[in-house]
Amino acid sequence: MEGLLLEPSLYTVKGIAILDNDGHRVLAKYYDSAVFPTSKEQRAFEKNLFNKTHRANAEIIMLDGLTCVYKSNVDLFFYVMGSSHENELILMSVLQCLYDSISQILRKNVEKRTVFENLEIVMLAMDEICDGGILLEADPSAVVQRVAVRTDDIPLGEQTVAQVLQSAKEQIKWSLLK
Amino acid sequence: MAIKRDKKEEEDGGNMFQNLDKTSVLQDARTFNDTPVNPRKCTPILTKILFLLNQGEQLGTTEATEAFFAMTKLFQSKNPVLRRMVYLGIKELSNLAEDVIIVTSSLTKDMTGKEDLYRAAAIRALCSITDATMLQTIERYMKQAIVDKNPSVASAALVSSLHMSKTAGDVVKRWVNEAQEALNSDNVMVQYHALGLLYHIRKTDRLAVNKLVARLTSDRSNRLKSPFAFCMLIRIACKQLEKDGGDYSDSPLFGFVEACLRHKNETVTYEAAAAMVNLRNTTARQVSPAVSVLQLFCNSSKPALRFAAVRTLNKVAMTHPPVVTSCNLDLENLITDPNRSIATLAITTLLKTGAESAVDRLMKQIASFVSEISDEFKIVVVQAIRALCLKFPRKHNTLMTFLSAMLRDEGGLEYKASIADTIITIIEDNPDAKEIGLAHLCEFIEDCEHVSLAVRILHLLGKEGPKTIQPSRYIRFIYNRVILEIAVIRAAAVSALAQFGSLCPDLLPNILVLLARCQMDTDDEVRDRATYYHYILSLQEKGLIFNYIVDPMQICLVTLEKSLAQQVQEKSSTKFDLKSVPPAAVVTMTEDTAKEPVPEGSISTVPAKAPLIQSTVSSYAEKLQNVPGLQSIPGVLFHVSEPVELTESETEYFVTCTKLAFPNHLVLQFECKNTLSDQLLENVRVQVEASEGYRVVKEISIPRLPYNETHNAYVILQFPDQLALTVTNFGATLRFIVKDCDPTTGIPDADDGYDDDYMLEDVEISISDQIEKISMDKEAFDRAWETAIEDGFTESEDTFNLPGMGSLEQAVTKVVKFLSLEPTGLTRIADRSSVMLCMPGMFRGGIEVLIRAKLAVSNNGVSMQFTVKSAHPEVAELICAAVG
């Protein structure tokens, strides 16, 4: 029974990963050098993780001594990993914040294509949520505000034609859906 | 049309990040040098570089440095996204590139500037490039940032401080007042981070932590709003409780944790419940409120919460099973949970708490869904069943039928192996189950695609089958294997047959016929084995059969190989003596070592580590080969004793002694550690005052022993010719030259030091240092015992009174520990008042020793009749004398 008591520490998150529907890495960060120190081990873990999770949408799994919470949407899988003794609900709030912030940034259009189109913002958001394994911010609106750039903030002139078309298409789609 | 284009776009992935090439991206980074900076061009390029890094692409130092310097040019741009990406880039490249401190001034400017958006990120980037010495220059800014009104700035500063405290703990410690102030912030995250930093700074100071916790927990105004901070506080409180020890019930800290069970946030309630469960000394009554909270969570709609609850209940089931019974109904509902982790955990919990009467019903429930789950979970279920079998031996029938049904299903090797293991454990543990278990296993090997498993089962059949009432029924199963299987299995089957032949005289003629047939096999190994066994069995000589089939010698193969190589190299004319090779180490698989520390309900894709096959003796022998001056000892290392501490722990010099026995020499290995940071020790050696008969052959000293390092010094002694003198005590002194040195650098102040010595506790040489345990089962022991006198053994016997022994168990452990041998088969003679202990061993020099001790409870303590049989009369006497 020894060592079950959690060491009081802010370092709660061991890793965050976003994978596509083939299990390939879109973005991933590991914060503990003791867990998967090399890129090869990380890949192997991600492959395993994906195999175990892509069919059943069960939200939580324990794999290789880590508690992994996850969520999927269209063609993306979002994962947050913590130690096996970590409070699962804290990990869930990290995951929820990650997903909600990205959803707000991409204006509810969470799919692989849009993530890649806004990759820099998604990277910044991940950086705002977790810094070196410490949960930095768990409130999605605060994260979005800190990332500061919503697509509509960019003046029209700085958007590419494709982006303008895309946002026009989005607006039409949403008005039709309403 | 539109759909078509959409599709095409999707095929491209609309993705400029696919098929990126490192070289071309780094070439593109030259664009960063253009003036004015074009954010629309530069942002994607920088993103690409970071994306490549994220994908695991390796950058060389030059590449990284070039990219880093190009990136610094982007500080000219005012575009917020680009600037933020630059910060991110600095963080990513900080440990790859050189001269990263070049951006310190730019970052300091941003960190103190007006743009809030930049400040927080700039602080974090700055701390990633700053080292301990540089930190002092920005200390003032950091202190300001910690108490900044903007929560993101304060959080960034606090978190960065925590990161920095790993390298510059002393500097960060000075910011405790600022952290204290930040704790009063209205922002939840700032509170959380401030608490984390404060605890980290003060965690070694128990009083300060107590004060911190007391102030925060007693605060009625409830300043602490963050649920995360609450979780942190619960963890700190529990840590303190654990340290304080004693009874929790009247502790205000425990009261606080209990109160958190009623917190409105689920995260906090769960944290509190889990903490109470994990506290070491809680009573069932103290845990029960936590269990009721967890029970509620079992019905939550969130899988994570259900998972958390059932996992924690599983832990409670290990410590306080009765408390969990109230949740049984909820747990049974969870068996059908769509999340298989939850379902499996629920089952294992139920199996732990369930009463004997519930077993049948539960097994039925498990059977209904076992086919749907993956192998990993099946293994967890099998393990739970194994525990259950050991708990309720009477239920073995139901459980065994269930296991054999599982064995027949499809499944991988690991899964099948775990079932077979479980059946084997049950057979060993419960004699009633043996026949049924063996029958199930026989059936299984009829149709088993896993070679290793079939071989193991055949071996088991050979060992256990002859002892059953009707051994002949197994022969058919085994001989079928000889006809139908591949060579490896055939060979194993032949060995199993031979076992039957040697142990069941009435079957011998039949076995000989079968073995004769096997001599015609196409495979060499099978033929060899068949011929070997056939020859020995047909001689019909009991002793021979016993020594070469039933209980062949267990020899440490690694050492055997080495000794043989040595023999060949030396080309000596003497015959090779098998007895000079130490016997194989007895592998004792206790419950603790067998159990992997993998948390239950977890799936592990990493294969379990193979148990360390090389024994301690051979690993030590290898180590000694590398020590100059030790190779010259004749003979092979025979026995390694447990290390003994010769100093109190926490003293200036810490010394432990390990005794290594060779046939004629004793090597004392002294592991010395210097715990004084201001001293450098040189020429460290241990001087022993050898008692009569012993002769010091050589001393090997440690040339240099700096602070906090551990090195070995050796003393080689020759054993006295007279065995009676070998059991003795040596006085020991640690001698060395001290040089005072600078605690931080470890460089000595002066060239010449002074001699000093340090008294150590006596080194005790006992009989157990000269005997190595060997593995032998009870029957083999009995046989050897009976034939010992014929084989020229001498017997020595004595009766002792062991005063002050409370119980028989105590006496047994004491005797076993004294001799450090492995007892084989503990036989109790009549009504628990007496016990017989059989211990085989090997004295140094390859002298076999058989020890039998009869212990009985007497009026004043325990009396013991101690009998030793050995090939060497002096050894028998010595052991007998040593016990007294």
Q: What is the 3-state secondary structure (H, E, C) of chain A?
A: CCCCCCCCCCECEEEEEEEECCCCEEEEEECCCCCCCCHHHHHHHHHHHHHHHCCCCCCEEEECCEEEEEEEECCEEEEEEEECCCCHHHHHHHHHHHHHHHHHHCCCCCCHHHHHHCHHHHHHHHHHHEECCEECCCCHHHHHHHHCCCHHHCCHHHCCHHHHHHHHHHHHHHHHHC
C-alpha B510/C-alpha B215 separation (Å) is 85
Q: Domain A13-147 falls in which CATH fold?
A: Beta-Lactamase (3.30.450)
Give the single-character DSSP code of B465.
G
For the segment B78-92, the average pLDDT, to the nearest whole number, is: 87
Answer whether residue A95 shows pLDDT above 90: yes
Two tokens, residue B18: 């696919």
Torsion from C-alpha of B271, B273, B277, B283, nearest 10 degrees: 140
Structure tokens at B400: 């065994």
d(CA B40, CA A163): 13
Question: What is the distance in angstroms between the CA of the first residue and the CA of the last residue of chain B?
Answer: 100
Euclidean distance between CA atoms B864 and B636, whole angstroms? 35
Of B16, B88, B231, the CB nearest to A123: B88
Q: Which whole-number Å values give the CA distances from B709 to B232, B681, B687, B750, in the listed order?
A: 36, 11, 20, 21
Whether the pLDDT of residue B604 is over 60: the answer is no
Q: How many CB pairs below 8 A link A and B?
A: 193
**How many Å apart are CA B330 and CA B377, to the nearest integer?**
20
Query: Average pLDDT, stretch B729-741?
Result: 85
Say how many C-beta atoms besides its own lie within 10 A of residue B536's C-beta. Answer: 18
Render pLDDT for B133-172 as a digit per residue (tens, 0 to 9).
788 888 888 888 898 888 889 999 999 999 888 888 788 8
Q: With beta carbons less than 8 A apart as the criterion, state whether B712 and B671 touch.
A: yes
pTM for the complete prediction? Answer: 0.66
Domain ranges of chain B: 203-282, 558-594, 616-765, 771-883
Q: Which chain B residue is nearest to residue A49, measuring alpha carbons?
A: B605
Read off the tokens for B112: 């103190």
Is 50 exceeded by the pLDDT of residue A1? no
Distance from the B572 Cα atom to the nearest Cα atom in chain A, whole angstroms: 52
Rounded CA gap, B620 and B712, in Å? Answer: 13
A130 pLDDT band, cuts 50/70/90, is very high
CA torsion through residues A103, A105, A111, A112, sign: negative
Is A149 in the B-facing interface, judged by CB distances under 8 Å?
A: yes
Looking at chain B from residue 227 to 246, which residues have their Cβ under 8 Å from any Cβ of chain A? 228, 231-232, 235-236, 238-239, 242
**Lowest-confidence region among B54-68, B75-89, B368-382:** B368-382
Of the candidates B709, B660, B661, B659, the residue with the CA atom closest to the CA atom of residue B684: B709
DSSP state of B581: S
Q: What burial letters (b/e) apply to B2-15, b meaning 16+ CB within 10 Å?
A: eeeeeeeeeeeebb
| Dihedral sign of CA atoms B621, B625, B630, B635 in order | positive
Quote the longest CA-to-CA distance of chain B: 104
pLDDT at B221: 52
Give me the pLDDT at residue B219, please: 62
Tokens of A127: 């950086």
Listed as own residue / partner, the contacts of B210-214 with beta carbons closer than 8 Å and 24 or more positions apart are B210/B240, B212/B236, B213/B237, B213/B240, B213/B253, B213/B256, B214/B252
Residue-wise pLDDT for B782-833, tens only, equals 777 777 777 777 788 888 777 766 677 777 777 777 777 777 665 555 556 7
Residue B590 pLDDT class (50, 70, 90 cuts): very low
Alpha helices (runs of H) in B626-751, residue ranges in sequence order: none
* B513, burial (CB in 10 Å: exposed 0-12, middle 13-18, buried 19+): exposed
Q: Name the more confident of B353 and A43.
A: A43
Question: Could you give the CA distance from residue B53 to residue B76 in angstroms, rounded to a whole number?
Answer: 24
C-alpha distance from A43 to closest chain B C-alpha (Å): 9
Contact B847, B875 (CB under 8 A): yes
* Residues A22-53: b if buried by 16+ CB within 10 A, e if exposed: ebebbbbbbbbeebbeebeebbebbebbbebb
Element (H, E) at B391: helix B375-391
CA B550/CA B783 separation, integer angstroms = 11
A22 touches chain B (CB under 8 A): no
- The answer to whether B209 and B203 have CB atoms below 8 angstroms apart is yes
pLDDT > 60? residue B605 = no
Distance from CA of A10 to the nearest CA of B (A): 6
What is the number of other CB atoms lying within 10 angstroms of the CB of residue A19? 25
The answer to whether A116 contacts chain B (CB < 8 Å) is yes
Which of B16, B189, B190, B203 is best to mutate for the A interface (most A CBs within 10 A)? B189
When the pLDDT of each residue in chain B is averaged and rounded to a whole number, the result is: 80
Give the pLDDT band (50/70/90) at residue A177.
low
> What fold characterizes domain B616-765?
Immunoglobulin-like (2.60.40)
B680-697 per-position pLDDT tens digit: 888 888 888 888 788 888
The model's confidence at residue B588, banded by pLDDT at 50, 70 and 90, is: very low
Q: What is the largest CA-CA distance in chain A?
A: 63
How many angstroms separate the CA atoms of A17 and A50, rounded?
11
> Cα-atom radius of gyration of chain A, to the nearest Å?
17
Domain B771-883 has CATH 3.40.630.10: no
Check residue B140 and give its pLDDT: 87
Instruction: Tell me if A134 and B302 make a contact (CB, 8 A cut-off).
Output: no
User: In the predicted model, is pLDDT for residue A157 greater than 50?
Assistant: no
Sheet with A25-30: strands ordered across:
A25-30, A13-20, A76-83, A66-73, A60-63
- Chain B residues within 8 A of A27 when measuring between CB atoms: 51, 54
Q: Which of B47, B253, B595 to mutate to test the interface with A (most CBs of A within 10 A)?
A: B47
Instruction: Please check the confidence at residue B583 and state whether its pLDDT lies above 50.
Output: yes
- Nearest Cα residue to B480 out of B467, B463, B461: B461
Q: Which of residues 20-49 of B touch A (CB under 8 A)?
A: 39-40, 43-44, 46-47
Q: How far apart are CA B370 and CA B381, in angstroms?
A: 9
Q: Does residue B725 or residue B277 have the better pLDDT?
A: B277
**Pair B109, B75: CB distance under 8 Å:** no
